[in-house]
Amino acid sequence: MSAQQMPAAPPSPMLIFNTVMSVQRAYALKAAVDLDLFSAIARGSQTSAEIAKTCAAAERGVRMICDSMTVMGFLTKSGNKYSLTQDSAVFLDKNSPAYMGRALSFLMHPSQVANYQRMTEAARRGGTLPQESPLGPEDPVWLDFAHGMAPLMMPAAEAIAELVQKESGSRPSIKVLDIAASHGLFGLTIARRLPQAQIYALDWANVLEIARKNAEAQGLGGRYHLLPGSAFEVGYGTGYDAILITNLLHHFEPAENEKLLKKAHAALNPGGQVIMLEFVPNDDRVSPPVAALFTLTMLGNTPKGDAYTFAELAAMCRNAGLEGTRLIPLDPTPEALVVARKAS
C-alpha cells in the first residue's frame, strides 16, 4: 500500500457489528408497533409507566423498547417523557390515515424472514426454489401487505394519475387496467381525479376484496370492476387507454415479463400506454441504494426475479412490441415509473 493510499481511519468492525445487530433493531420496532406504543404516546401517555399501563405491558419492557426507539429515531426523550417524531405520528400511530404498521406484519412475516435465513443457499443457487415462496395467493398476510403498504405508495399513485390525466384527461371515457391492484390505490387515485375513468382491477380474489371495499368507501364502486386471478391467466379484455403494472415485473424473469407485456400490448388501444412501477437501479446496479438493494428481496423471495435496470426493462418492452420506453424518477421515493406506448 503506497503512502497515498494509507487510510485515514483505522479499520473498525463497527459497520459489520451494526449491520448484524440491525436484526434486533428491526424486531424492536416491530415490538413497538405490536404493543401499539406509538398510538399510546399519541393519545397522551408520556412516561414508560404511563405507556406501559395504556399498552398493558411491563414498564421495564416498555422502557427498554422506548429508549431503543429513541436511539433509532422513532421517538424523542426529554427527562423521562417520550414524544413521537413527525414520521412516527404520521406512519406509526394507528389512528393516522397513513398508518403503515401492518406493513411490518408482511415485511417481517416469519416466512419472509425464513427465506432471508436461507439467503446463503439462494445465493449459491442463484435464486430461491419455487416451493420456497410459501405465501400462496390466499395467505392472509397479503391483506397486511395491501393495508400496510398503501401509505408508502401514495406519491407514486399521484404521479401515475397525473400521467394518465395528462395523456387521456380530455377524452370522454377512459378505460384503465390495474394489474396487481393490491390495495387498489393506483386505480382509485385515477378514478378520483377522472370521473370518466372506468377501472378494471386485477389481483387475487381475496386481495381484490380490499380494493373493492376501498372503492366503495370512496363512492367509486360503480366505476370499479374486478378481474380476479393471475395476471398470466386472466383475460384482460381490450380497449384500454392505460395499463398499470405496479411492483410486479421484478418477481419474474425477463421472458415471463415479456409474455405479460405482450398481453398488455394486445389489450391496449393504439397510442395507449403501459405504466410500470419498479425499483430501477442504475446500470452500475449499486445505485441508488434502496433500488439497488431491492435485488436482495428478489434473491430471497423469488426463483428468478430481480431489480431490473432501465435498459433491461426497455428491452422487455421492445420485445413485447411497445415503443418509446422512458423512465420517470419519483424522488424522494425509492421507485420509478417506466412508461412505454403501443404505436398509434
Of residues 232-261, those binding a copy of itself (CB under 8 A): none
| Shortest reach from residue 256's CB to a copy of itself, in Å | 16
CB count, 10 Å around CB of 96? Answer: 18
* Torsion on CA atoms 71, 74, 80, 83, rounded to nearest 10: 160
| Shortest reach from residue 120's CB to a copy of itself, in Å | 4
Residue appearing with cell numbers 431491492: 294
- Chain positions 123 to 182 lying near a copy of itself, rule: CB under 8 A, are 123-127, 151-152
| Shortest reach from residue 181's CB to a copy of itself, in Å | 21
- 186 vs 204 by CB, closer to a copy of itself: 186
Q: Are the C-beta atoms of 223 and 199 separated by less than 8 Å?
A: yes
Mind giving me the DSSP string for 329-343?
E-TTSS-EEEEEE--
Out of 65, 201, 248, 316, the only residue in the binding site for a copy of itself (CB under 8 A) is 65
Relative orientation angle of helices 205-217 and 185-193, to the nearest 10 degrees: 30
| Shortest reach from residue 232's CB to a copy of itself, in Å | 23
Check residue 315 for interaction with a copy of itself (CB under 8 A): no
- Chain positions 40 to 59 lying near a copy of itself, rule: CB under 8 A, are 55-59
Per-residue burial over 313-341, b if 16 or more Cβ lie within 10 Å, else e, is bbebbeebbbeebebeebeebbbbbbbbb
* Torsion on CA atoms 90, 95, 98, 100, rounded to nearest 10: 90
Out of 41, 92, 243, 274, the only residue in the binding site for a copy of itself (CB under 8 A) is 92
Question: Three-state DSSP class for 285?
Answer: coil
Q: CB under 8 A: which stretch of 106-114, 158-166, 224-232, 255-263 binds a copy of itself?
A: 106-114
- Chain positions 68 to 87 lying near a copy of itself, rule: CB under 8 A, are 68, 70-74, 77, 86-87
Out of 53, 81, 116, 196, the only residue in the binding site for a copy of itself (CB under 8 A) is 116
